Structure 1
Amino acid sequence: MAKPRMHLGFDFSYTHMGGRWRMPGAWPGRHFPDVEMFEEIARIAERGCLDMVFSGDGTGIPDTWRGSPDAAIEWGISWPRQDLNPIMVAMSRVTKHLGFGLTYSSTFMHPYYMARLMNSLDHLTGGRIAMNLVTSTRKSDAANFGFDELMEHNSRYERMEEFVDVCRKLWDSAEPDAMLWDFESGRVTDPAKIHHVKHEGKFFKVEGALNTPPSPQGRPVLIQAGGSPRGIRASAYVSDYVFGPDMALARQVKHRAALDQALVDLGRDPATVGILWQTPIVVGETEAEAIAQRERLLTAIPQEAVGAYLSYNNGYDFSTLPERFTLAEVQEKIIAAQASPIGFVHELSLALGAGTEISRDTFFEHGVKSATSYDKTIAGSPSQIADILEEAFEATGSRGGFMLGHTVSVPDDLIRIVDLLVPELQRRGRFRTEYRGRTLRDNLQDM
């Protein structure tokens, strides 16, 4: 009997940030946003039969550390960035099968605009687009869109659910066979197959069908990464595929169980919704080679940059930490600010104990490992990493796979994934040897 097969994506969000752009194995003399670099990433990923390449995003410049963006700008922390949808279109033009995952915020964007944009991108890529929705937790992002404060945690998810309701109505406003393009009669569309949308909810008021042809996939693939109990419920409502956090296996098992229950509560079949677990990874021909590559992460950025990264992603200025404190005290302040309750401080509390008193220096010793993903980066030979992935895949229900990424340097680390790890997974019957679907949705459903 054939084994269930994994799906694999590659997250290239940070390839040019956090010092990775100058690590050995990165492009010499080339830097963001050189489109040829991204086209090369796409070609390599498709050669490995990966499902998709993916990028997170954010519009704000990190300015939480010392109340200034200077450190982030100087050291390349979540800076610079661009809207990657035109870059992903360029990547799609040099590939035929690879999918593309774009990130947008339902907290700030309008569903009509996003439904129309994603439909357009689905046509340009030939049915290979996915939208990763996030509920924004960063004040600098909120300020870009005119918000004085972050929206309350649960309200962000309520808005996202209604956002998706509207998008789905709009994507369904044209039936799959609505377009005629009849040369003899001149008829373009069957009006009976275009349906008017009238939505009036808590957050949005939208009227009118999309003025676009139906999407090649029916609807673009939706991805979401909620991690809190409320976030998990939202991801069960929203997602075709869930983007899972890079956490200990025991917690991934609990996350999968919580998602399954949320899906059942919504009347959805858990077998139809996979999780792509975020997995920072370095693969080498030998374990020693991979570990040596991972060690370079600790040299990538200075402490000032670590502070800028952690403060931005946790919504709290860690430059204000006293010499000694408990993590519980800091976590209370983060929650009060409506920032993410499941970030670095939460993770460190689980590891050390929320009530344990620690020093500022100890905090930043752990912080550099978190800011560079060193603490969660798997490093090993192809067989060692394949063993780890297989164990996690089976323990979490053999539904989904992994979003590989946060590598030390690209393109070299991506090439090693494609040339070393992928063949090992194929040998074990755990990964495809060719694409069989026409669209990204088809390929993600191909188990």
Structure 2
Amino acid sequence: MMLKHAIKKSLIATSLIAASTVAYAAEVEVLHYWTSGGEAKSVAELKKIMEAKGVTWKDFAVAGGAGENATTALKARVIAGSPPTAAQIKGPAIQEWGQEGVLANIDSAATAGKWDSLLPKSVSSVMKYQGHYVAAPVNVHRVNWLWINPDVLKKAGAKTPTTWDEFFDAAEKIKKAGFVAVAHGGQPWQDATVFETVALGVGGADFYQKALVKLDQTALTSANMVKTFDTLGKIKTYIDKDSAGRDWNLATAMVINGKAGMQFMGDWAKGEFTTAGKQPGKDYLCVAAPGTDKSYTFNIDSIAMFKVKNPDSQKAQLTLATAIMSPEFQEVFNLNKGSIPVRPDIPRGKFDSCATKSMDDFAASSKANTLEPSMAHGMAVSSAAQGAMFDVIAKFMNSNMTSQAAVQALAKAAKTQ
């Protein structure tokens, strides 16, 4: 692994820097990429909780919706021997960092908070490295949502779609009415978000699991995968020409402002609607993407703790982990962010209809075994395989590449280690 090689190479530099670094008592430096409206509001609440506990919050925010920029910044800090106290990382990346020997054990906070009994095993296992907690889960996001502006739908004479045929019928009517049918940002992670949602809708949870989690070559080269790219190619025709490089929240703003009819995006998009003062069911609709009503692709945000030498910093880490899992923070963070609490014991009273549907669907999908980790959001495959697959999907979205060529390229990319 390139990261491991770089870290080993810098061991001497690490010891020199560590020896000369002055750590501040009771301070946490947190690297994260929660920078949009709803997200930033959520982080401010965590900062407030920490400061009330006598811990200074040093913000290390790195913009970029999928966290690529934050990951680059984190690698640079770890290689330089001065990791932040904590960082927003998730899924298989937690295991990758664990293998580098740089993550801190926070079992004492987990034991005191009874995390093992509170968290579903599918969640707790992701937060552990070699049986020990090294990260605290913040929330559960559903990825396979379709966000709709009902006024645009009404003006276009279209109805809320539940199937792909209905979706394209609605998209065509919206386009003919002079609106952008599909709000989208032409960034690799956004392209991959739409792709995996289409794959789930076209082939179902079993196909998704085989193709995008297990990276099974038969599934990756199947007729379902060809159909997935065919469907994605058709969606592409309803995206406006100015989408290249557009941030996801700006695409959401197009739906909020009535410039666009629909957007495929995880439920962090709801945080933008909430910040804009919009009400679900009235100003916007949240529906499962076509064909995915009985399934649930999830993305769990988490904060991993890095090894620090200062005893006060170590105590501050445990305070941070405890604060993240507190009912107080779980409620306020997820109300702002659009996600749902990772704790199942949080009262539902303050959560809106989109959130309660997400809670119900999460529980139902977990029971039906149709709960799937998001490939696009770093929950399913290694960062190397994910990056290679992103490249193929982005190329397909930005060229005249055929579905058959894309399928072969994706299957090859999935072999990347």
Above 0.5 in TM-score? no
Report the TM-score, using the length of structure 1 for normalisation: 0.26
Report the TM-score, using the length of structure 2 for normalisation: 0.27
Identify, as 1 or 2, the structure richer in helix: 2
